[in-house]
Amino acid sequence: MAFELPPLPYDYDALAPTIDGETMRFHHDKHHKAYTDKLNEGVAADPKLAGKTIEEILGTISSQPPLVRNNGGGYWNHDFFWKIMAPNGSGGGGAPSGKLAEAIENYGGLDKLKTDFNTKGAGQFGSGWAWVVADASGTLAIASTPNQDNPLMDDVAVKGTPILGNDVWEHAYYLTYRNDRAKYLASWWDVVNWDEAGRIYDGIAG
């Protein structure tokens, strides 16, 4: 198989109470696995995709069929999502530092970033994702994408390197928050892995 389901970097219940263990178990073991399996089906059907990284596939997604787009996005998005979170008190929560903190100040400050991100996520109609995106110069922007689209795709409105991303599909939060997406978005900052976000940003800013 071209792609394998990456393991969670922590226990299923490590992000509780922000995200409960049952949600994490189903989200990773069922949803992420399904995206992985379907992506492999799409890759196997097209010899031109053999040996390509997921980032290379996403970079030409406008020429790919829906099977590859939807499941390639789902595969990458969830791998990123698990890594960009950490247990509160063990890397999760807190505040950014270093070059990322400077970029956030240039954006307007952390409170503004959180507010704009939460507003964008709450306003995404139906299923999708909210993102903090950096362009090649390191300038930050807030975006949302439908379904499993992401800023690495060549045909999305806001392109760049994802620094943070939150899944606003209902299966990501419904067991704990029911239909209160805004409460989920507000709580999610308690498990943001700012160290990982800073590492990603440093790779752009140099």
pLDDT in tens, 1-37: 689 999 999 999 999 999 999 999 999 999 999 999 9
Q: How far apart are CA 133 and CA 143, in angstroms?
A: 7
Q: Does residue 3 contact residue 75 with C-beta atoms inside 8 Å?
A: yes
Q: Does residue 82 contact residue 196 with C-beta atoms inside 8 Å?
A: no
Tell me which amino acid residue 85 is: M
Asked if residue 192 has pLDDT above 90, the reply is: yes
Domains and CATH numbers, the chain: 21-83 (1.10.287.990), 98-205 (3.55.40.20)
**What string of DSSP letters covers 107-142?**
HT-HHHHHHHHHHHHHHS-SSEEEEEEE-TT--EEE
**What string of DSSP letters covers 147-197?**
TT--TTSTTSSS-SEEEEEEE-SGGGTHHHHTT-HHHHHHHHGGGBBHHHH
Mean pLDDT of 59-72: 98
Q: Does residue 59 contact residue 153 with C-beta atoms inside 8 Å?
A: yes
Q: How far apart are CA 87 and CA 27, in angstroms?
A: 17
pLDDT in tens, 105-160: 999 999 999 999 999 999 999 999 999 999 999 999 999 999 999 999 999 999 99
Report the pLDDT value the prediction gives residue 88, as an integer from 0 to 100.
Answer: 86
Q: How far apart are CA 183 and CA 176, in angstroms?
A: 10
C-alpha separations of 201 from 92, 110, 170 in Å: 17, 15, 28
Tokens, residue 31: 């949803």
Which contiguous run of DSSP H or E holds residue 43? helix 33-44
- The 8-class DSSP code of residue 146 comes to E
C-alpha separations of 158 from 76, 151, 154 in Å: 17, 6, 9
Please state the length of the chain: 206
Mean pLDDT of 159-179: 98
